[in-house]
Amino acid sequence: MKITMEMSKVAYEIAKKVYLGQLTQSQGKIEINKTTGMNEGSANIFITIFLAMMDGEEYKRAFNNDTNRFLLESIRKDFGEKFLKNALDAVQKHINTLENKEVPMCF
């Protein structure tokens, strides 16, 4: 199943709840699955990447460019410039990894 932008938008709202401690990651992936039909594995990866972006940490799996752009814009809007910088740092770390080896696309 292709992950649509509509699914990503719903997944983002749920991933925010995980980040804010309102849901566990396990609860979040189940909620994403129930509300969007995204499989739990992809939902878990979505949350993991979002959390890595929020903390400025490297992530291994990849989103498509539209999802990346959506996440960066949403993080800036919802959390401000500091967290946008963290997310951009995480993306740069991911790009550096891509330059050294092939990383499978998730979405």
Residues 38-94: tens digit of each pLDDT = 999 999 999 999 999 999 999 988 888 899 999 999 999 999 999 999 999 999 999
- Residue 54 per-residue DSSP state: H
Reply yes or no on whether the pLDDT at 106 is more than 70.
no
Q: Is 106 helix (H, G, I), strand (E, B) or coil?
A: coil
Query: For the packed helices 65-79 and 81-100, what is the interaxial angle rounded to 10 degrees?
Result: 150
Most distant CA atoms of the chain, gap in Å: 37
What predicted TM-score, i.e. pTM, was given to this entire model?
Answer: 0.89
Q: Is 21 helix (H, G, I), strand (E, B) or coil?
A: coil
**CB count in 10 Å sphere of residue 103:** 14
Give the pLDDT of residue 104: 58
